[in-house]
Structure 1
């Protein structure tokens, strides 16, 4: 499954489009569906040990309302899990662990400040979330991502989110972690 995820990402990046006006901010609703990977490795480094992610039933769904050229609000829901024996904060788990998450994120699109690319949207965001990993916890989230538009109504997004849990020391599994999403995006 990891190889499919990587091949899909490379294929999307290699695809080229002709420059045209893809962005439309009037009544701009978007939905997305795709895959996610969750890492809780205790390293607090989002790119260390990339081969040890939770990748069991890795579904991600989101609805976004963009009301201006720069601002949007997204609500997402993700499912995933970890196998028995997977490493958490340098200790192997003794059971399978289900992962569920829902987040509300305020996004700021800033592509126009860097360059003129109608087929690409870069953004950062912040928000709050609720997640379950053996028990429930809340988090403050910071996100960064990109949406690549193949045409005006269809694109793909790649997003990375750092989730900073409330009381991380009181939870063995439901503590600070990173989540990555690769999803198809449809403009309604």
Structure 2
């Protein structure tokens, strides 16, 4: 129930943002993997990442200024025998997360003549659940490759570091990295 209330609140908030300036809506869908091995590196032990149910979906509202807001939902699965922060799992766990991010696209500042690639940084908050529910502060970035000249279809890759706010007593619901690869389409 709290997820439904949160989703309605975020949708209402995003509709308030949509009243300003030139904007465009995008939808992205793809795969994600979770690194929750207790390391400080998003690349450590790639073969041990969770990717049992790796679906992610997001809606994004982008302005000409390079700012954007995004709401996403992701699912994944940790299988029995996987390891989370050094703890061997004795049963399967489903990972669910709802994230709200503010993004800034800055690729045209680095490559002003390029129309096929863009870079962005993002920060926000999330609610995620493995065994219990926790809140996270999220920070990350990504790259978007446009597949057409009109910049309406693309592929993006991103990494998000999720710092759990109640990590001292959270058990499995702790700090982790989430990596995405998604199709990105203008609506």
Shift of 1:133: 0.7
Structure 1 residue 86 corresponds to structure 2 residue 82: yes
Instruction: Report the TM-score when normalising by structure 2.
Output: 0.85
Equivalent positions of 1:66-85 (< 5 A) are: 66-85=62-81
Measure how far apart 1:119 and its partner are.
1.0
Backbone CA RMSD of aligned residues: 1.2
1:83-105 residue CA offsets vs partner (Å, 9 max, x unmatched)? 10111111211110110001000
Partner in structure 2 of residue 123 of structure 1: 120
How far, CA to CA, are the matches of 2:166 and 2:118 in structure 1? Answer: 34
3-state SS of the aligned residue for 1:113? helix
Contact in 1 for aligned 2:23/2:64 (Cα 8 Å): no
Structure 2 unaligned runs (5+)?
A: 1-20
Give 5+ residue unaligned stretches, structure 1. 1-24
Residue 166 (structure 1) aligns with: 165
Secondary structure at the counterpart of residue 94 of structure 1:
coil
The Cα offsets for residues 48-80 of structure 1, whole Å up to 9 and x where unpaired, read as 111111111110000000123310000000000
**Superposition deviation, residue 161 in structure 1:** 0.2
- Structure 1 stretches of 4+ with a deviation exceeding 6 A read none
What's 2:137 paired with?
140
Deviation for aligned residue 1:169: 1.7
Partner residue of 2:24? 28
> Are positions 1:37 and 2:33 aligned together?
yes
Structure 2: how far apart are the matches of 1:146 and 1:69?
17
Aligned pair count reads: 164
Structure 1 length normalisation: TM-score? 0.84
